[in-house]
Chain A
Amino acid sequence: MKEEKIELKRTPLYEIHHQYGGRVIDFGGWALPVQYKGIIDEHRAVREKAGIFDVSHMGEILVEGGQALDLLQELVTNDVSKMKINQVQYTPMCNDRGGIIDDFIIYRLGESKYLLVVNAANTEKDLNRVLEVAKGYPEARVEDITDQVGIIAIQGPLAKEILQKITPQDLGDIKYFWCVQDVEAAGENTMLISRTGYTGEDGFEIYCPSQSAPAIWEALMKEGEGLGLVPAGLGCRDTLRFEVCLPLYGNELTEDTNPLEAGLGRFVKLDKPSFRGREAIAEMKEEGPGRVLVGLEMTSRGIARTNYPILENGQKVGVITSGSFAPSLDKNLALGYVPKELSEIGTALQVDARGRLIDARIVPIPFYKKEEN
């Protein structure tokens, strides 16, 4: 394997990835494993058993003090005032044109203390945006704590059983999109454990001081390996999120994409006090978005990829944002934007795969849903 460039940023689990045979690549400036044994095996392990991921590259921005809530209410589109302590909320953050600067989750950690967990590649841009909006809220304090925090995600139907073996906290008490703070795991103090993830499976994310991350990882592997737990790379993280149609920033979401066309309207609360991008989004809501995000299934041979044109009768009508072989469905699927009038389920379209046309039709999203028990 070729050595990665030395200037790449390292997570606290860098050594572990090499130890477990991870294929470490440059992922937005971070040295992270795209896979260990193979993307498809890891994908299936997460759907059927469990996988652990290093997501320490995610950015963490702490917003606290008086006016923290007011600042966030202006910053993001969702209604932060609805959050209770230890609750987690997903939200887009928009520019003044209604385009998405980033999408992230917010943890309410105290009366007036919030943690924004943002896409790694957007951390600096997001921090600048928060600081810009914070000028109007001098009592709020903003701090980037990315370098102090390690995050391990354990995902899959056995995630709860395995994590329970290393923590005295009853995980059954943590509901989906909630967290508990200052929990012990593997004898280490964690910042928090939340029932969250990016795979469409049940699972948890463990936030801990950087130096505690390797011990927690090793304890999970020790307890879980016999049950089918595998280290999982960013490759299957992408195919897992793709099958359940969780949007990926840079693919489905960009600064020129509005939350309404991206299907994120339920995370935009136009009835709360004003927020950045509100006017543009309200205007689009009035008219209805001109284009919408749809799911496509390839009906002839081929795989649609990001930025491939979508055609109707030879004319370009849209663009693919993500496309892949879907390991849990054994189909070639894609997400992309098409005009509203061509977005009905069943509509036949084509995808231009570097000059070769693939037949496709619009299918319902999400492509995959976990079985409820």
Chain B
Amino acid sequence: MTLAAIRIKAPRVAAAYEIALKVGVCEAARRLGLHQSTVSCHVGKARRMLAGTFHQRPTEAQPARESERQHLAGLRHDSHTTRCRCGLSLPCYQCVQTIWQAASSRSGAAHGEF
């Protein structure tokens, strides 16, 4: 590795879900230069995280405690959903923020990484 150099990296796409929530999956895909299916995949991960069935690290992929599962499920009521321009129903930003914070404190993962 050269010491004096600039390293050009691919951008993180971890925020794809958040962006999709704000501008829709189609528009998010366009803005991120990704295929729609890739953005949808991130949305799917976020939804699984919301359901308590997705974990950041395989080593910590233990089932959530029942009380926590109920807590997470309790956040999934209709008032916390919004609809993408392409008709895909997405959980709301606030809910996912809450889940991310809970998941991050459990696994030590950085906020927004999934």
Are the chains A and B members of one assembly? no
